[in-house]
Amino acid sequence: MLGGQWRAGGTALNAAVGMLVIAVFWLPVDLTGSGAVLELGLTVVLLGGLLLRGRFATTALVLTGATTLTGALLNITQDPFVAVAWTLYPVAVRRSSAKIARTVGTVVLVAVTVLGFTGTREVAEAARYALISVLVLTGSWALGEATRRQLVEVEQNGRLQAEQAVLAERLRLVREVHDVVSHSLTSITLSAGVAAHVAPGDAERLSRELIRVEQSGRQALADLRIVLGAARDDNATAERAPTPGLEALAGLVADVRPAGVPAELALTGREHVPPSLEPTIYRIVQESLTNAVRHAQGARCTVTVTGRPEVVDVEIVSGRGTGTTVRPPAGGAGYGLLGLRERVELVNGDFHSGPLPDGGFRVAAVIPTQDRR
């Protein structure tokens, strides 16, 4: 996989390195001697091997290694395997493994041994040449191995980020579905309960409650189509509707009053509330009112949204009504409040919820507005 993502230097760069190596370690070529053809041939093969480095790294390594070793044995070049190190690096990056490392190491040791006991060099000169060659090749391999590890880490981080993005999107979808279904089903359940206890002769009230059930059901289905349609189509071609904002808060408050929760809304400083925060505020109020209907019927509920230049304060307080004690959701905070906390934290806000000393319940969020306009 790394071979497809990582590319060795371009042809121009490899040609430049080849010309530099030839100029420094192979020239001048004795064109009058009997070995002129061999020297020219070796330099051509060396340059050709370097040009293959980008697409055929292993072939380039074999050609440059054989050419350099031959030239060193014939005392034609003083190249301490620099050209080989240049072609060894992409091999280490793409195909680094213990087996390849052992193979390369064995070849290097054999080459150094051959150079140490053959050729025309003095022993000290041969030892120095061999030592420099080993250091150059070892450094090239180590650098390629380090690069490979970095590429693997980047690839793994990329996969992890993609998985986290998928998980975050699934959680967002779960929150949206929960908010839609929870609020609508609560309204439907309460209206149906009221309809079931309507006096037989009160047809008008029965009709009113059944119409409320129908409207809540239709709204829930419409909201679910929007949420699930958006989840199926990331290219924005699915059915969509404007996300509810501050203008819909009055409707939320009005909806819970027939369910036995006398709610009031106080909205100030709307001009300081960025549009990007309105859906979050709407969901906070929606979930809080839903919990109030479930657990605190008869208790007065006050919704306060205050926009300021730096922050938006959102507070929903359910007081203790006559003969009513506000109870938090069963099982602790419940997924609804947990989802609200996650929503608020996503916009760098602070979220708090819990019972009050007088038996009420309070949900509060402080959301910064800076850099969101």
Average pLDDT over all residues of the chain: 78
214-233 pLDDT, tens digit per residue, is 777 777 776 677 666 655 55
Residue 263 token pair: 């709610």
Residue 224 token pair: 């679910």
Q: pLDDT at residue 161 above 80?
A: yes
Domain ranges of the chain: 2-161, 245-373
pLDDT of residue 313: 96
pLDDT-based confidence at residue 68 (cuts at 50, 70, 90)? confident
CATH superfamily, domain at 245-373: Histidine kinase-like ATPase, C-terminal domain (3.30.565.10)
328-365 pLDDT, tens digit per residue, is 444 444 457 887 888 898 888 999 999 988 888 999 99
**Bridge-based pairing state of the strands 263-268 and 301-307:** parallel
pLDDT-based confidence at residue 312 (cuts at 50, 70, 90)? very high
Distance (Å) of CA 364 to CA 180, 265, 306, 324: 21, 14, 11, 22
Q: Which residues have a Cβ under 8 Å from the Cβ of 163 and sit 6 or more positions away?
A: none
Range of lowest pLDDT (20-29, 81-90, 122-131, 172-181) = 172-181
Q: Residue-wise over 259-281: b if at least 16 C-beta within 10 A, else e? A: bbbebebebeeeeebbeebbbbb
- Give the C-alpha separation, 135 to 365, whole Å: 63
Report the C-alpha dihedral over residues 279, 280, 282, 284, rounded to 10 degrees. Answer: 160
